[in-house]
Amino acid sequence: MLNEKKHLWILGGLWLLLYIVGNHLLTITDPVECNYAETAREMLLYDDYFSPRIFGNYWFDKPIFFYWELAAAFNLFGVTNFAARLAPALTVLASIALLYWWGKRLYNAQIAFAASLLFATSLETWYVGHAVITDMTLLLTVSLTLIAFYCGYQQKNYNWYYLAFASAGVAVLDKGPIGLVLPGLIIVLFLLWQRDFKALLVKQLLGGFVLFGLVAGIWYVPMYMKHGQDFIDIFLGVHNVMRATVSEHPRDDVWYYYIGIFLAGFFPWAWAAIPAFIKRWRRGWRLKLDTNTRFLLVWAVTVFALFQCFATKYVTYTFPYMFPVVLLMARHFCNWGKKLLYGVAVMTVVYWGLLFGVAVPQMERHSSYGMAMAAKPYLEQGVEPYSFGRSDGVVAFTYYSGHFIKDLVSQEELDEERKLDWSVTNILPKFSFEAVERDKPMLVIVGEKSFEDLQKKLPGKWTLLEKGRRNSLYYRAAD
């Protein structure tokens, strides 16, 4: 068997091959990645690292920590694709290191190595590790919270609780209240199963909550002091409470959604383990419920069940169950011996094929990067950019061009009072048709179905500059 030093060399090389190589080719996509990247760009633009802005306006979609990660990368490497994807890539590396370290403490180096290989080469990790979203940081911070708690619980050294609370504070800075609620619920359910709540009756618990408050308060307190009720209503009301109770995408709110995500996200390892699991089950196999296994099961099942109860469902919501699942699966894959390494090698080649053959061209199609490049000569001449018929799918235009875009609406829509519903996620500044200066040229990004309506509202000579997947860029000369 390989020794620990070789484990680390293999894991480090695998990380470089899967999570660093080719990042500079991956375009920032609409409509999600661009929001994070553009907000971080505007942090540098306005030299304001506390109040997130997009299109020059304050917005409270997510907490600050991931924006800080992006802004730090932009400061070091410039506003580039590579810099935008560096933060999630580095978080993958930290997650692999944490998983390996904890796997050794729970079991042994061989199981830790197998779990780390499964984690690094699972499809969902590969996806999230390249995506400009908050979920890889949430995985790391929630996992560290739970691992620190469990180390303290196992060793009866409750000073570990301080690390758990500090990490939960960072998780809340990254994703909001779920960063405390999720690990807290897992810990309570585990202790309920153990019938051992005395593990919480320690002096470190009070000190831990104080530490948590200090860490999370770094951002939440100044934000409330500066923005008041607006911050509470939109950040907590819409982007947290409403997300849990009102589906943003009703078609995805089905009972089997996360079962499909599990089978796809753990490709190929879940599929490889299913035959062995069925075979053992038929033989009357039962999982040995020692303390370690109980903790891992509670962790995995709670994540799955909690987000299944949420009205809004996203592909990445259940990602925090990765650590317990790969550790539970690793004991089976340890029996594969060298076949596991061969499987990892095959998956590395598969992911390279997906990266260069699928991800690179598809991500450019799902971005308004091409339109930003086509518009550049006109923008340099002072032509104003607008959008029509879509309020999403065009933020990358501003990110790549550096020019704010406005959404053309009627004066009646412009005068409407903002409601605390999903409409607040429409982040483009609005501009009325009536205020358009007809004697000036303009650029408009418009959906295919809306172009005829645009021509009726703004007659003139329209020239197609760039055709995108859902939108196209048109130029209208001055009347």
pLDDT in tens, the chain (479 residues): 578 999 999 999 999 999 999 999 999 999 899 999 999 999 999 999 999 999 999 988 899 999 999 999 999 999 999 999 999 999 999 999 999 999 999 999 999 999 999 999 999 999 999 999 999 999 999 999 999 999 999 999 999 999 999 999 999 999 999 999 999 999 999 999 999 999 999 999 999 999 999 999 999 999 999 999 888 877 776 666 666 666 666 777 788 899 999 999 999 998 888 777 777 776 766 667 899 999 999 999 999 999 999 888 889 999 999 999 999 999 889 989 899 999 999 999 999 999 999 999 999 999 999 999 999 999 999 999 999 986 567 999 999 999 999 999 888 887 776 665 545 567 888 999 888 888 899 999 998 889 999 999 999 999 999 998 889 999 999 87
26 and 170 share one domain: yes
d(CA 358, CA 22): 12
Buried b (16+ CB within 10 A) or exposed e, 89-105: bbbbbbbbbbbbebbbe
Specify the pLDDT at position 223.
94
Specify the pLDDT at position 390.
66
Task: Please state, in angstroms and as integers, the Cα–Cα distance from residue 57 to each residue in 51, 84, 424, 429, 462, following that order.
Answer: 10, 21, 12, 8, 30
What tokens does 29 get? 């996509």
Last residue of a domain, one of 336, 363, 390: 363
Q: Is 393 left (phi over 0), alpha (psi -120 to 50) or beta?
A: left
348 and 384 share one domain: no
d(CA 214, CA 38): 28
223 and 148 share one domain: yes
pTM, to two decimals: 0.94
379 and 355 share one domain: no
Last residue of a domain, one of 300, 334, 363: 363
219 and 97 share one domain: yes
d(CA 473, CA 18): 34
Specify the pLDDT at position 422.
47
From 276, 278, 264, 286, select the one nearest 334 (Cα to Cα).
Answer: 276
Handedness of CA 457, 459, 465, 470 (dihedral sign): positive
Burial (CB count <10 Å: 0-12, 13-18, 19+), residue 385: buried
351 and 390 share one domain: no
The total number of structural domains that make up the chain: 2
d(CA 246, CA 312): 6
394 and 320 share one domain: no
346 and 373 share one domain: no
Q: Is 167 left (phi over 0), alpha (psi -120 to 50) or beta?
A: alpha
Could you list the residue range(s) of the whole structural domain that residue 323 is in? Answer: 4-363
199 and 262 share one domain: yes
With vertex at residue 14, the alpha carbon angle to CA 11 and CA 18, rounded to the nearest 5 degrees, is 140
Last residue of a domain, one of 363, 379, 414: 363
From 378, 430, 436, select the one nearest 403 (Cα to Cα).
Answer: 378
376 and 332 share one domain: no
359 and 373 share one domain: no
Specify the pLDDT at position 268.
94
327 and 344 share one domain: yes
Specify the pLDDT at position 243.
62
Specify the pLDDT at position 415.
74
